Amino acid sequence: MAKIVRTPSHLGNCSVAIAFWLWQPLLSSGLGPESATYAMIDGHEIGPKFLAHITENRKRVIGFMVESLQAYMASISNLDKCVAVLSKLQRLGIAHGNLTRDSFLVVDSRGRAYLHGFQISYTTRDQGVLEKELASVENILKQSEETLRAPFREKLRTLSIVLEGRAIKFFVHGTTWTDC
């Protein structure tokens, strides 16, 4: 069970966050690689803003929170925005490693796309790897909805978190936990 603690004041202006927990099937490799990628992209507007790690008893990291974006999954009409954000990631020497159409989040109000799902992202100087990944974006965005559906996606338990002032409130399947 995770202990929810008051958030630092610099997170108080974020009204909604998304939490990812270690027990999710896609996070079986652990949180380290994804946390490291969020640290490398911080300030570059490549992914949702990393807000905090979630700890158990203030010791063991069991998850993390990122900004919730009013976004939609990219389509071929968003190709330029998707290529632009992936290019920004690659200029930092990072390959996403697992691009799918839903790796891209398009936020019209900000006029850009963001990347997420950095579980197997890695640093590389191999330009061939980066070029191949960048060249794959168009085909990825042309995929139909049916090819994107995977049986386990329905079972993932992503949590929405509302930051009210400096206290966190969790909503999971209609149940609420708070620590005020």
Q: What is the 3-state secondary structure (H, E, C) of the chain?
A: CCCCCCCCHHHCCCCEEEEEECCCHHHCCCCHHHHHHHHHHCCCCCCCCEEEEEEECCCEEEEEEEECCCCEECCHHHHHHHHHHHHHHHHCCEECCCCCHHHEEEEHHHCEEEECCCCCCEECCCHHHHHHHHHCHHHHHCCCHHHHCCHHHHHCCCEEEEEECCEEEEEECCEEEEEC
In this structure, the answer to whether residues 81 and 125 fall within a common structural domain is yes
36 and 63 both lie in a single domain: yes
Predicted pLDDT at 158: 42
Residues 5 and 30 in one domain: yes
Q: What is the number of structural domains in the chain?
A: 2
Q: What is the pLDDT of residue 9?
A: 53
> What's the CATH code of the domain at 124?
1.10.510.10
- For 129, the domain range is 70-149
Contact of 63 with 2, CB cutoff 8 Å: yes
pTM of the entire predicted model: 0.69
Please tell me the predicted confidence (pLDDT) of residue 22. 58
Band (144; pLDDT cuts 50, 70, 90): low
* Helices 127-135, 79-91: inter-axial angle, 10-degree rounding: 170
Residues 134, 75 within the same domain = yes
Is residue 42's pLDDT more than 60?
Answer: yes
Whether residue 119 sits in one domain with residue 81: yes
For position 105, what pLDDT does the model report?
A: 94
Asked whether residue 170 carries a pLDDT value surpassing 80, the answer given is: no
Q: Which residue has the higher pLDDT, 149 or 97?
A: 97
Does 51 share its domain with 77? no
Please say whether the beta carbons of 11 and 29 come within 8 A: no
Residues 46-99 pLDDT 10s = 999 988 887 777 777 777 888 888 899 899 999 999 999 999 999 999 999 999
Note whether 118 and 96 are within 8 A (CB). Answer: yes
Report pLDDT for 156.
41
For position 148, what pLDDT does the model report?
A: 53
- Are 109 and 62 found together in one domain? no
Question: How would residue 177 be classed by pLDDT, with cut points 50, 70 and 90?
Answer: very low
The answer on 140 and 76 residing in a single domain is yes
Section 21-33 average pLDDT:
61
Across all residues in the chain, what is the average pLDDT? 74
The answer to whether residues 38 and 3 belong to one domain is yes
* Confidence (pLDDT) at 8: 52
Convert the pLDDT of each residue in 158-169 to its tens digit.
Answer: 444 444 443 444
pLDDT band at 123 (very low <50, low <70, confident <90, very high): very high
